[in-house]
A and B are shown apart, each in its own frame.
Chain A
Amino acid sequence: MKTLPFQRGKGDRTVFVQALALTRYTVVNALGRGVAATLEALQSRRSGLRPCDFMDAALDTWIGRVDGLEIEPVVARLGEYDCRNNRLAQLGLAADGFDAAVAAARARYGAHRIAVIIGTSTSGILETELAYRARDAAGKLPPAFRYRTAHENYSVTDFVRRTLQLQGPAFTVSTACSSSAKVFASASRLIESGLCDAAVVGGVDSLCFTTMYGFSSLEIVSRQPCRPADAERNGISMGEAAGFALLEKTDGRGDAICLLGYGESSDAYHMSSPHPEGAGARLAMSQALQRSGLDAADIDYINLHGTATRANDSAENMAVAALFGGRTPCSSTKGWTGHTLGAAGITEVVIACLCLREGLLPASLNTVTVDPSFTMNVLLENRRQPVKRVLSNSFGFGGSNAALILGVAR
Chain B
Amino acid sequence: MNVHVKSIAACGPGFADWETLRGHFTAAAPLPADFAPKPQGALLPAVERRRASLTVRLAVDVAQAALQQSGLKAQDVALVFASSNGDTNTIHNICTALATPERFVSPTNFHNSVHNAAAGYWSIGAASMQPSTCLSAREYSVAAGLIEAAAQCATENLPVLLAIFDTPFPEPLHAAMPTRHVFGMALVLDAKPEGSLARLSLTVESAAAPNATRMVNDENLENLRLDSPAARSLPLLAALAAGGATEVTLDYADDLKLKVECHVVMTQTD
Contacts and interface: CB of A to CB of B under 8 A. Distances in A.
Interface of A: 112, 121, 125, 128-129, 131-133, 135, 139-141, 145-148, 152-154, 157-158, 161, 167-176, 182, 185-186, 188-190, 192-195, 209-210, 213-218, 264-272, 279-280, 283-284, 396-401
| Closest CB pairs A-B (n = 3) | A398-B120, A264-B131, A214-B110
Contacts, number: 228
A213 B130 contact: no
Contacts of A269: 124
Contact of A268 (B51, B123, B155, B171): B123
Interface string B124-142: 1011111111111110110
Given A132-B95, A194-B1, A210 B177 contact: no
Question: Which residue among B106, B112, B138 has the maximum number of chain A CB atoms within 10 Å of its CB?
Answer: B138
A269 B126 CA distance: 10
Contact of A174 (B99, B109, B116, B121): B116
A157 B137 contact: yes
Contacts of A401: 131
B128 A152 contact: no
A23 to B, nearest CB: 21
Contact of A214 (B113, B131, B140): B113
Nearest to A135: B172
A169 to B, nearest CB: 6
Contacts of A284: 131
Contacts of B109: 214
Contacts of A209: 98, 103
B34 to A, nearest CB: 27
Contact of A175 (B111, B126, B132, B176): B132
A272 B172 contact: no
Nearest to B176: A147
Interface stretch (B25-33, B64-72, B251-259, B261-269): B251-259
B98 A397 contact: no
Contacts of A270: 124
B95 A128 contact: yes
Interface in B33-47: none
Nearest to B102: A213
Interface string B182-225: 00000000000000000000001010000000000000000000
A216 B103 CA distance: 10
A176 B141 CA distance: 18
Question: Which residue among A153, A168, A279 has the maximum number of chain B CB atoms within 10 Å of its CB?
Answer: A153
A216 B105 CA distance: 9
B152 interface: yes
B118 to A, nearest CB: 8
A70 B10 CA distance: 44
B154 interface: yes
B226 interface: no
A236 B49 CA distance: 29
Contact of A169 (B86, B116, B177, B253): B253
A147 B169 CA distance: 12
Nearest to B148: A186
B135 A173 contact: yes
A272 B48 CA distance: 12
A195 B150 CA distance: 11
